[in-house]
Structure 1
Amino acid sequence: MSEVLARGRELRSRGRTRLTRPRTYVWIAGAVLLLALPFYLDRFWLQAGLFAMAAAIGAIGINLLTGATGQLSMGHAFFLAIGAYGYCVFAGEGGDTGLTGLGLPTWIAAALAVGVAGIAGGLFSPIAGRLRGAYLGIATLALIFIGQHVLFNAHDLTGGSNGRDVPPLSVFGITFDDSEMVVAAVPFGASEKLWYAGLVLLLGCGLFARGVLRGRPGRAMNAIRDHRIAAGVIGVPVARYRAGVFVLSSMYAGLAGVLLALVFQRTVPDYFGMTLSLEYLAMIVIGGLGSVAGAVAGAAVVSLLPQLLTRYSDALPLVSAPGSGGITPGEASRYLYGAAVVAVVLFLPGGLASIAARRSRPTSGPTSGESGEER
């Protein structure tokens, strides 16, 4: 009985220690800051943050597939396009526009779009289960070419090269459009409202992925990544896990596509090309393979860099406005995060997440009475 009481006191002491760590206060301050930003930032910065949130959701998905399970995918943009255009088809109105639209409630349309992206991933998963490495990457790259052909030629569904408008999301009586809603004397438009929706979606996706990686599925995924045959020998259902992760990653991409469409307010086929898939691979390499926090950090770097270069192109050397003949902000950003990928591979294999892991690693040895098993 005394041992049980002592153990309880030890657990409570550890809980109080965690609450008093500086890292806890940093997280609390960061959360308060994110919640307060829509009251102070203008539309540009809010949209930049929303792009980063959508990119982070998609990056978490591809990190589960490539970083944690070792399945190389270069077709992530295909599933983002399914989410974006699927939402437009399910929620859009037909009629005089000449475009197909089912006119469903927008929150149902968003859920269906994510589900269709998952179904598309499930249909492709048998192929993914048979291929590995570069062969799988080439097979997923074919999805980009198929997707681009469909997006440009299926005019009734996609609007062709001109794209189609995105119906605003409406949930619990709140419509996420530019109709202003005053909160604490601050007018809230589409960007301000979507900011909080994006935070909720990103938090939910991050916590779910973290739970997957820290539980039994995560250990199985890592075993498949490190040694597929040995994982099968010890009883891991390799084919089932690889198919399941591909479906889950596709659903994350579909959700990211829906959020991107809501932020852009118009979908265009050119955006969902090979460049976008390569950007997602750059995100997880820069942030750190197999890490949820690393995926978010890498997404922030890759998605925010071109927008910052565009905004401050006049003050930056060698960077000029688009159409002026010099290096455009988009080209400059690709050069920079391309160099960042090379630097990370050579000097920081764990990505940005490894820096935080090193700082949080305890430097002192175990205290007296603490065994190696308890550590």
Structure 2
Amino acid sequence: MSDRPAASLRLDSPLRLISSLRLDSPARAAGAVLLLAAVAGPLWLTDFWLQAGLFAMAAAVGAIGLTLLVGVAGQLSLGHAFFLGVGAYTYTLLAGEREDGMSGFGLPPVAALLAAAAVAGAAGAAFSPIAGRLRGIYLGLASLGLVFLGRHVWLNAEDVTGGYNGRTVEAFAVPGFSFSDEDPDYLAVLGTPFGELHRLWYLFLAVALLAAYCGRGIKAGRAGRAMAGVRDGETAAASVGIRVARVKATAFTVSSVYAGVAGALTALAFGRVAPDSFALTVSIDYLVMIVLGGAGSIAGASAGAVFVSVLPLMLVQYSAHLPFLSAPGSGGVDAATLSRFVYGVAIVAVLIFLRGGLAGALRHLGIRTARAGRPSRPARPAERSTPKESAP
């Protein structure tokens, strides 16, 4: 029987929970501010920024999956766009209706979203035997073949994908509530009418937060430690009992599940899917995201996804106010070309000056802030020898 009072037993857990919520670092404080801004964003953002936010949050989900594969497990992949396409077309096929010569199953969108994650994960698991036998640039080249295979399927399976022109995406809905503008129920919050973009914003935000939470759990758990061991050295990992092939298969499967969800979210954000949305450049963009953010960092991958996704949209939106930008196809520097230049400069700068990416910079800033705010310990006074009392 414990001698501690009953009140102490009841208050122990809540007090620990409250103490764990202290914003004692720049990273935690910045995360809290960003979360509050994201929750309140639809109340004051325009449609352009809402649309850009949807693309950024969808990309963040896919970038988290890729950073687990590349940054944590150390497995190079250039086929992320293929798994994005699998998720997007699976959702479109299962949630869509059969019309205009295209197949459709008319399943509930929630079930279609879960199926998109499952089918993409199954595709990653099917590729895992190849991933288990290759590593480095050879694995990257093997995964690159998936992008060309996927593009061939997207273009030729016209009854499923719609071919070159693509097909529209069924709006998301849950029982009793629709995320589409066609919903006759009027919804307003603090005087702001909530249309499809506003409703999808909170759906995407919830999925992105869940993806980040699960990603941190995987990285910090037993599976993450095994992935890190394989990344640091396959021979050493095998010598301590880690099954290297199984760890690689797990990493590819988990990354593919994330990509499947990201693909379905991207399809919902666009409202339409087409083969060009899952080209090789998309895989390169995702690699840029995790390099800029810091390979292996969940928060860094999310930050890199926001940068890479939003920058081209901003340049296109405000190209009229930037005199050095030319119209697309004119032979000058257009918004897309400038964004590629910025990516290149940013990558070189990160590799030279910030080897840990944005996450590493914030980590160093937090360490310096903690050291600066820590009070200096006063000098210990010299100990004086006192004569011992003589025994009586």
TM-score, length-scaled by structure 1: 0.91
- Residue of structure 1 in register with 2:256 after alignment: 250
CA distance in 1, matches of 2:342, 2:121: 33
- Matched residues in 2 for 1:13 and 1:248: separation? 32
Matching residue within 367, 371, 384 for 1:363 = 371
Residue 15 of structure 1 and its aligned partner are, at CA, apart by 5.8
Please, which moves more after superposition, 308-317 or 193-202? 308-317
Measure, in 1, the Cα distance between the counterparts of 2:288 and 2:375: 38
Task: Extract unaligned runs of 5+ from structure 1.
Answer: 369-375
- Aligned equivalent of 2:276, options 246, 264, 270: 270
Match of 1:174 in 2: 177
State the AA in 2 paired with 1:219.
Answer: R
Identity %: 48
The alpha-carbon deviation at position 31 of structure 1 amounts to 2.1
CA contact (8 A) 1:151 1:269 kept: yes
| Alpha-carbon distance in structure 2 between the residues aligned to 1:91 and 1:21 | 45
Q: Which residue of 2 aligns with 1:373?
A: none
> What one-letter code is carried by the residue in structure 2 that aligns with 1:268?
A
In structure 2, the partner of 1:84 is: 88
Over 3 Å counting, the alpha-carbon distance change for 1:78 and 1:20 in structure 2 is closer
Please state how far the C-alpha of 1:322 moved relative to its aligned partner: 2.1
Label 1:22 to 1:241 Cα distance change in 2 as closer, same or farther (>3 A). Answer: closer
Q: Which residue of 1 aligns with 2:162?
A: 159
Alignment partner, residue 371 of structure 1: none
Please list every run of at least 4 consecutive aligned residues from structure 1 whose deviation after the TM superposition is greater than 3 angstroms: 11-18, 22-29, 364-368
Instruction: Show CA shifts across 1:254-276 (max 9, x none).
Output: 00000000010000111100000
Distance in structure 1 (CA, Å) of the matches to 2:17 and 2:113: 42
- Summarize the Cα distance change of 1:14–1:185 in structure 2 as closer, same or farther, 3 Å threshold: closer
3-state SS, counterpart of residue 371 of structure 2: coil
Match of 2:386 in 1: none
Say whether residues 1:348 and 2:354 are aligned partners. Answer: yes
Per-residue CA deviations over 1:151-179 (Å, capped at 9, x if unaligned) read 11110010000000000011132211123
* Aligned pairs (5 A) from 1:212-227: 212-227=218-233
Report the more deviating stretch, 142-151 or 181-190.
181-190
Compute the displacement of 1:213 (Å): 0.8
Give the distance between the partners of 2:326 and 2:117, measured in 1 at CA: 38
Residue 309 of structure 2 is aligned to residue 303 of structure 1? yes
The number of aligned residues is 364
TM-score (norm 2): 0.87
Q: Which amino acid aligns with 1:29?
A: V
Q: Does 1:61 align with 2:36?
A: no
Q: Quote the residue 1:102 is aligned against.
A: 105
Q: Do the aligned partners of residues 235 and 173 (structure 1) sit closer, same or farther apart at CA in structure 2, a change above 3 Å counting?
A: same
CA contact (8 A) 2:25 2:366 kept: no
Q: Contact 1:310–1:321 at 8 Å: present in 2 too?
A: no
Query: Does the 8 A contact of 2:88 with 2:116 survive in 1?
Result: yes
* Correspondences of 1:12-91 after superposition (within 5 Å): 16=19, 19=22, 21=24, 23=26, 24-91=28-95
Q: Give the whole-Å Cα distance in 1 for the aligned partners of 2:195 and 2:166.
A: 24
Alignment RMSD (CA, Å) = 2.4
2:239 corresponds to which residue? 233
> Which of 137, 143, 146 in structure 2 is aligned with 1:140?
143
Which of the pair has more CA radius of gyration?
Answer: 2
Amino acid at match of 2:160: L
How far apart are the structure 2 equivalents of 1:45 and 1:15? 35
**1:26-71, CA deviations, whole angstroms, 9 ceiling, x for partnerless residues?**
4433322211110111110001011000111000000000010010
Q: Tell me the equivalent position of 1:202.
A: 208
Query: Take 1:291 and 1:134, find their aligned partners in 2: how far apart are those partners?
Result: 22
Measure how far apart 1:21 and its partner are.
Answer: 2.8
**Secondary structure, in 3 states, of the residue corresponding to 1:19?**
coil
Q: Which runs of 5+ in 2 are unaligned?
A: 378-392
Task: For 1:140 and 1:22, locate their aligned partners in 2 and report how far apart those are by CA, in whole Å.
Answer: 39
Partner Cα distance (2:23, 2:126) in 1 = 48
CA shift, 1:317, in A, is 4.0
